[in-house]
Protein backbone atom coordinates (compact mmCIF):
# COMPACT_ATOMS: atom_id res chain seq x y z
CA UNK A 1 0.00 0.00 0.00
CA UNK A 2 2.86 2.37 0.74
CA UNK A 3 4.22 1.90 -2.79
CA UNK A 4 0.83 2.80 -4.26
CA UNK A 5 0.50 5.89 -2.09
CA UNK A 6 4.00 6.98 -3.10
CA UNK A 7 3.24 6.44 -6.80
CA UNK A 8 0.02 8.47 -6.54
CA UNK A 9 1.89 11.25 -4.72
CA UNK A 10 4.56 11.35 -7.42
CA UNK A 11 2.00 11.35 -10.26
CA UNK A 12 2.07 15.12 -10.99
CA UNK A 13 5.87 15.09 -11.27
CA UNK A 14 5.76 12.02 -13.48
CA UNK A 15 3.32 13.75 -15.84
CA UNK A 16 5.71 16.68 -16.14
CA UNK A 17 8.39 14.15 -17.12
CA UNK A 18 6.13 12.82 -19.89
CA UNK A 19 4.81 9.78 -18.02
CA UNK A 20 1.29 8.81 -16.95
CA UNK A 21 -0.13 7.11 -13.86
CA UNK A 22 -3.27 5.05 -14.29
CA UNK A 23 -5.19 3.17 -11.64
CA UNK A 24 -7.14 0.16 -12.92
CA UNK A 25 -10.00 -1.24 -10.91
CA UNK A 26 -13.27 -3.10 -11.30
CA UNK A 27 -16.73 -2.82 -9.84
CA UNK A 28 -18.97 -5.85 -10.03
CA UNK A 29 -22.70 -6.21 -9.55
CA UNK A 30 -23.75 -2.71 -10.60
CA UNK A 31 -27.54 -2.75 -10.84
CA UNK A 32 -28.93 -1.72 -14.19
CA UNK A 33 -32.16 0.04 -13.23
CA UNK A 34 -34.89 1.68 -15.25
CA UNK A 35 -37.48 3.97 -13.70
CA UNK A 36 -41.09 2.95 -14.28
CA UNK A 37 -42.26 6.57 -14.60
CA UNK A 38 -40.49 9.49 -16.32
CA UNK A 39 -38.73 12.10 -14.22
CA UNK A 40 -40.85 15.18 -13.60
CA UNK A 41 -38.88 18.25 -14.58
CA UNK A 42 -38.43 21.31 -12.42
CA UNK A 43 -41.17 23.88 -12.40
CA UNK A 44 -41.26 27.26 -10.68
CA UNK A 45 -41.28 26.52 -6.95
CA UNK A 46 -40.89 22.74 -7.49
CA UNK A 47 -37.74 20.63 -7.49
CA UNK A 48 -37.17 17.84 -9.99
CA UNK A 49 -39.02 14.72 -8.87
CA UNK A 50 -38.41 11.02 -9.49
CA UNK A 51 -40.68 8.15 -8.64
CA UNK A 52 -39.21 5.48 -6.40
CA UNK A 53 -40.38 2.49 -8.45
CA UNK A 54 -37.97 0.87 -10.86
CA UNK A 55 -37.44 -2.23 -12.97
CA UNK A 56 -34.26 -4.30 -12.53
CA UNK A 57 -32.50 -4.99 -15.80
CA UNK A 58 -29.81 -7.27 -14.36
CA UNK A 59 -26.29 -6.35 -13.31
CA UNK A 60 -23.16 -5.26 -15.13
CA UNK A 61 -19.46 -5.25 -14.34
CA UNK A 62 -17.26 -2.21 -14.92
CA UNK A 63 -13.50 -2.37 -15.46
CA UNK A 64 -12.00 1.09 -15.80
CA UNK A 65 -8.72 2.97 -15.82
CA UNK A 66 -8.51 6.19 -13.83
CA UNK A 67 -5.99 8.88 -14.76
CA UNK A 68 -4.68 9.81 -11.33
CA UNK A 69 -3.58 13.36 -12.24
CA UNK A 70 -6.40 14.44 -14.55
CA UNK A 71 -9.08 12.74 -12.45
CA UNK A 72 -10.79 11.20 -15.46
CA UNK A 73 -11.88 7.69 -16.36
CA UNK A 74 -10.29 6.36 -19.53
CA UNK A 75 -11.03 3.17 -21.45
CA UNK A 76 -13.93 1.76 -19.42
CA UNK A 77 -15.20 -1.73 -20.25
CA UNK A 78 -18.67 -2.92 -19.27
CA UNK A 79 -19.99 -6.44 -19.51
CA UNK A 80 -22.22 -9.03 -17.87
CA UNK A 81 -19.40 -10.99 -16.21
CA UNK A 82 -16.17 -10.54 -14.29
CA UNK A 83 -13.72 -13.19 -15.36
CA UNK A 84 -10.00 -13.36 -15.97
CA UNK A 85 -10.77 -13.36 -19.68
CA UNK A 86 -12.76 -10.11 -19.34
CA UNK A 87 -9.83 -8.46 -17.59
CA UNK A 88 -7.26 -9.75 -20.09
CA UNK A 89 -9.46 -8.50 -22.96
CA UNK A 90 -9.57 -5.07 -21.30
CA UNK A 91 -5.77 -4.70 -21.07
CA UNK A 92 -5.06 -4.03 -24.79
CA UNK A 93 -7.47 -1.09 -24.68
CA UNK A 94 -5.40 0.82 -22.13
CA UNK A 95 -2.95 2.53 -24.53
CA UNK A 96 -5.76 3.65 -26.86
CA UNK A 97 -7.79 5.75 -24.45
CA UNK A 98 -6.27 9.19 -24.79
CA UNK A 99 -8.51 12.23 -24.40
CA UNK A 100 -8.01 13.10 -28.08
CA UNK A 101 -8.90 9.57 -29.19
CA UNK A 102 -5.29 8.80 -30.04
CA UNK A 103 -2.68 6.93 -28.09
CA UNK A 104 -2.81 7.57 -24.37
CA UNK A 105 0.92 7.17 -23.82
CA UNK A 106 2.31 10.69 -24.23
CA UNK A 107 5.83 9.98 -23.05
CA UNK A 108 7.85 6.84 -22.79
CA UNK A 109 6.25 5.28 -19.71
CA UNK A 110 2.79 4.56 -18.35
CA UNK A 111 2.52 3.39 -14.74
CA UNK A 112 -0.52 1.19 -14.16
CA UNK A 113 -1.57 0.44 -10.59
CA UNK A 114 -3.95 -2.35 -9.63
CA UNK A 115 -5.02 -1.34 -6.10
CA UNK A 116 -7.57 -4.16 -5.74
CA UNK A 117 -5.40 -6.89 -7.21
CA UNK A 118 -4.81 -8.72 -3.93
CA UNK A 119 -8.40 -8.48 -2.72
CA UNK A 120 -9.97 -9.32 -6.06
CA UNK A 121 -7.52 -12.01 -7.09
CA UNK A 122 -8.99 -14.83 -9.06
CA UNK A 123 -9.63 -18.19 -7.46
CA UNK A 124 -7.75 -19.88 -10.28
CA UNK A 125 -4.02 -19.82 -9.72
CA UNK A 126 -1.04 -21.22 -11.56
CA UNK A 127 1.78 -22.13 -9.19
Between vectors from CA 97 to CA 73 and to CA 82, what angle results, nearest 5°?
Answer: 65
pLDDT score at 119: 44
Helix (H, G, I), strand (E, B), or coil: what is residue 17?
A: coil
H or E element at residue 56: strand 54-67
pLDDT score at 102: 41
pLDDT score at 22: 82
Helix (H, G, I), strand (E, B), or coil: what is residue 85?
A: helix
pLDDT score at 42: 92
pLDDT score at 21: 81
**Residue ranges for the chain with pLDDT beneath 50:** 96-108, 118-127
Report the candidate in 100, 112, 110, 114 with the shortest Cα–Cα distance to residue 19.
Answer: 110
Distance separating alpha carbons of residues 57 and 5, to the nearest angstrom: 37
Q: What are the phi and psi torsion angles at 16 (to 5°)?
A: -65, -30
Amino acid sequence: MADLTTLYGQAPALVEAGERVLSTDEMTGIQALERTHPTRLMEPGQAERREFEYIRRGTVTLIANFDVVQGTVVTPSMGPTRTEEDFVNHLPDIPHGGPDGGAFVIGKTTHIAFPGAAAGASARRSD
